[in-house]
Amino acid sequence: MNLTSITVRRLTTEMLTPFTTSFGTQTHRDLLIVEARDDAGTVGYGECVAGAEPTYSEEATSTCEVALAEYVLPRLQNAAVEHPDDISTLLHPIKRNNMAKASVEGAVWDLWAKQQGISLSQALGGTKSRVDVGLSIGIKPTDAELLQAVGEAVEAGYRRIKIKIAPGRDLEMMRAVRREFPDEAIMVDANSAYTLDDAQLFAALDELNLMMIEQPLAHDDIVDHRHLQAAIRTPICLDESIHSLDDARKALELGSGKIINIKVGRVGGLTESLKIEQLCRESGVDAWCGGMLETGIGRAHNVAIASLDGFTLPGDTAPSARYWAEDLITPEVTMHNGQIEVPTGPGLGYEVKTAMLESLTTQEFTVQL
């Protein structure tokens, strides 16, 4: 691929509204953007989806920055990279640090697609020209505010609405939502806030006919989830528990859940995501593309992978205007009738606003390959 250098930028962007999950409230993203360059000066972009603190998983922006500088990028120096798949092979000896790995692997995938003159969707084997979009709604202080947010999401045309829950903001709140929206495709996401002691609560949620319950139990568990899934009708969707193809295979084999949320960062990149997509497709298991409050760069990667057949359900790929006053890409990601058009231009298919990226950058380093 004639890779010549990798640049890592750190920047902070304010979100339009705070986003609250069972593990905390986020008001901004503190993130890394990775640029992969070749000898013709073509640039591929990747985004590190880690949060500012290690509260969703063990990774955080600072740990990713260190992992990239000290362990990940040195393994790519003087390495023969012919295809983006080679990146995951080269990085295989490094355990976990998946979001750090995925950020550079994503940049190399974008660059590779640009070198071939094809879209990232096409490079990955995508078939859809549009992807279905779902919205993730954070925990609101009152039911009234939540009902209003759900109403707005329905109005905007989202094809599935996900509502964050946490102890104390769960069953009664969701009953109120179902009363007002009896027929909408609604699911909940607990972000690992419960234990098996709460099995009764989840059995009660069965009556609300939810599409799925995302990650009800511990972030590192697939055994307790198996017991819970055996006790309830609503499908469990695994998010935090799945870090690889092997994790997905084992969880499905155990019956720990019936649906997989594929997040490119969490599983270490697009190459691993493709393997999980294939497993789900071949075994008839529904999968969808999760989100991590990405800027347009990360969103563009998500839209590209969500265009594959195995992504059978709407993903958390809300358009740019949901989170950002101004996005890092042009045109911004937009939604029509609850769908996003998959771009057909080379690579991500969106232009990165380099002046904006540079002006937001607070720290950067470049490694020559």
Distance CA 153, CA 180 (A): 13
User: Per-residue contact track with ligand OSB, 264 to 303, x per CB under 6 A?
Assistant: --------------------------xxxx----------
- Residue 136 CB contacts under 8 Å (≥ 6 apart), including other chains: 162, 164, 189, 291, 316, 318
Sheet of 43-48: strand order equals: 43-48, 24-38, 3-21, 361-368
**Cα separation, 242 vs 162, whole angstroms:** 19
CB-closest chain residue to ligand OSB: 291
Number of Cβ within 10 Å of residue 283's Cβ equals 12
Q: Does 327 bind ligand OSB (CB under 6 A)?
A: no
Residues 203-232, one symbol each (x = binds Mg ion by CB under 5 A, - = not), give -----------x------------------
Q: From the candidates 250, 258, 263, 275, which is the catalytic residue?
A: 263
How far apart CA 32 and CA 48 sit, in angstroms, is 5
The beta-strand segments (E) located in the chain are 3-21, 24-38, 43-48, 130-132, 134-137, 160-164, 186-189, 213-214, 236-238, 259-262, 286-289, 329-330, 339-341, 351-352, 361-368
- 364 three-class SS: strand
57 or 122, CB closer to ligand OSB? Answer: 57
Q: How far is the CB of 63 from Mg ion (least distance, A)?
A: 20
Total number of residues that touch ligand OSB (CB under 6 A): 11
Q: Which of 56, 158, 194, 324 touches ligand OSB (CB under 6 A)?
A: 56
> 102-141: which residues touch ligand OSB (CB under 6 A)?
136
Residue 282 corresponds to which amino acid? E
Q: Is 197 annotated as a binding residue?
A: no
What element of type H or E holds 360?
A: helix 354-360
Binding residues with Mg ion: total (CB under 5 A) = 3
For residue 340, the 8-state DSSP code is E
From the list Mg ion, ligand OSB, none, pick the one residue 293 interacts with, judged by a Cβ distance below 5 to 8 Å according to partner type: ligand OSB
Catalytic residue check, 114 = no
Does position 306 interact with ligand OSB (CB under 6 A)? The reply is no
Binding of residue 239 to Mg ion (CB under 5 A): yes
184-203 residues near ligand OSB, rule: CB under 6 A: 189, 191
Task: Give yes or no for a contact between 216 and 196, defined as CB atoms under 8 angstroms apart.
Answer: no
Write down the catalytic residue from 164, 258, 275, 353.
164
Shortest distance (Å) from residue 131 CB to ligand OSB: 13
- Residue of 38, 59, 85, 316 interacting with ligand OSB (CB under 6 A): 316
Single residue of 189, 247, 272, 294 touching Mg ion by CB under 5 A? 189
Complex with ligand OSB: residue 262 or 318, whichever CB lies closer: 318
The answer to whether residues 106 and 267 touch, using CB atoms and an 8 Å cutoff, is no
Choose the contact partner of 316 out of ligand OSB, Mg ion, none; CB within 5 to 8 A by kind: ligand OSB
Q: For residues 28 and 18, what is the distance between their CA atoms, to the nearest angstrom?
A: 8
**Mind telling me the catalytic residues?**
164, 263
> Binding-site residues for Mg(2+), please?
189, 214, 239
> Binding-site residues, please?
189, 214, 239
Where do contacts with ligand OSB occur on this chain (CB under 6 A)? 56, 136, 189, 191, 239, 290-293, 316, 318
